[in-house]
Amino acid sequence: MSPTTDYLSPQPNYRVGATFRWLGSSPIEHAELFLTVCGIEHCPPDKSYGPVIRDDFHVHFILSGKGTLEINGQSYRLGRGQIFAIPPDIETYYYADPKDPWHYTWVSFGGSKAAYYMEKAGFTSACPVRDAYVEPEEFLALTEKILNHHELVIANELTRTALLYEILALLVNSRNQNLEQQHKPRPLDYSPDIYVNHAVEYIHTNYRNARISDIASYIGITRSYLTHIFKQKLSISPQEYLLSYRLDQGSRLLRTTDLSIQEVASHIGYDNPLTFSKMFKNAYGLSPKNYRQHIVTQNALPLSSKS
């Protein structure tokens, strides 16, 4: 989408007119995400674009006024607070209302992960329209920042790309928050294996003070789903895994150090050594003291004072 009149900037990729600001950028080969065009426009009555087929994504955030999008044989009458997304390789036609023409901001982009990010934001070729779920001025502010970094320098190129990622993050987050407000499950971003692996890593690093709610919050899923996938993948609950790992670390300290039982208990997250002793005996069949004596007798080796 490129206005063809009223050029006020000497730079060919940045254009300013009475009713628009526009910035174009060259595609970046093999990039995951790159900006091609962005802008802000107060459209005159009946102003139209298309029919046209593009090779990148165009996402429009309506700030005020009205207009119509025609895509895939469907017609959408749109207004403030709505977003419409035009995917590549699909013919579209859209036009401003004759009496109350729309004012919108837009970003256009490509890249190997562009389609994936758009799907996570709730857009597909069959579903090109959604509500913003936040004030559309939040998207406007990010677009303005991109436009304000129009000079052709590497630092600005990096800033523009970072801001594009921020716009897509806002799109994804606003969609997920809306689903949560409606008590609907939000789509999961990763496979159960990845979530379980991250949970296990968190436990191994933070087992002394970890709580299951902390683990679920850290990786961004519900506690019930975390429990479900743990049982599915490891055949035990995350609470059972955490307890087992704590006690395993306790047994290691009993075998390899001369720390007192109380110190071992504290080191693995038990404030009360009696609670630790009870849990340890349930798991190993021996109290911590008897376990250590058994190991020393069995190996006939002195204990190190290093943990």
What is the residue whose two structure tokens read 């004012």? 103
User: What count of Cα atoms within 13 Å lies in the side-chain half-sphere of residue 241?
Assistant: 24
Top-level class of domain 240-299? mainly alpha
CB-CB neighbours of 171 under 10 Å? 26
Task: State the pLDDT confidence band at 18, using cuts at 50, 70 and 90.
Answer: low
Classify residue 182 as exposed, middle or buried by CB count within 10 Å of its CB (0-12, 13-18, 19+): exposed
Task: State the pLDDT confidence band at 301, using cuts at 50, 70 and 90.
Answer: very low
Task: State the pLDDT confidence band at 56, using cuts at 50, 70 and 90.
Answer: very high
Do domains 14-181 and 240-299 share one topology? The answer is: no
Task: State the pLDDT confidence band at 182, using cuts at 50, 70 and 90.
Answer: confident
Residue 303 has pLDDT above 80, yes or no: no
- Helix, strand or coil for residue 41? strand
Measure the CA–CA gap between 7 and 31, rounded to whole angstroms. 30
Q: What is the fold of 14-181?
A: Jelly Rolls (2.60.120)
Task: State the pLDDT confidence band at 180, using cuts at 50, 70 and 90.
Answer: confident
Measure the CA–CA gap between 82 and 97, rounded to whole angstroms. 15
Sign (positive or negative) of CA dihedral 270, 273, 279, 280: positive
Nearest to 118 by CA among 126, 179, 193, 48: 126
Q: What is the CA radius of gyration of the chain?
A: 29
Measure the CA–CA gap between 146 and 156, rounded to whole angstroms. 8
Q: What is the fold of 192-235?
A: Arc Repressor Mutant, subunit A (1.10.10)
Give residue-wise pLDDT tens across range 119-160. 999 998 889 999 999 999 999 999 999 999 888 888 988 999
Measure the CA–CA gap between 260 and 307, rounded to whole angstroms. 12
Nearest to 80 by CA among 159, 156, 139: 139
Mean pLDDT of the 15-25 span: 69
Residue 29, token pair as written in the block: 């080969």
Task: State the pLDDT confidence band at 307, using cuts at 50, 70 and 90.
Answer: very low
Residue 3 has pLDDT above 50, yes or no: no
String of DSSP letters for 98-155? SSSB-EEEEEEEE-TTHHHHHHHTT-BTTB-EEE-SS-THHHHHHHHHHHTT-SSSHH
Extents of the domains making up the chain = 14-181, 192-235, 240-299
Give residue-wise pLDDT tens across range 94-126. 999 999 999 999 999 999 999 999 999 999 888
Q: What is the mean pLDDT of the chain?
A: 87
Q: Is the pTM of this model over 0.85?
A: no
Residue 155, token pair as written in the block: 């630092």
Nearest to 102 by CA among 65, 60, 132, 139: 65
Mean pLDDT of the 170-195 span: 85
Task: State the pLDDT confidence band at 305, using cuts at 50, 70 and 90.
Answer: very low
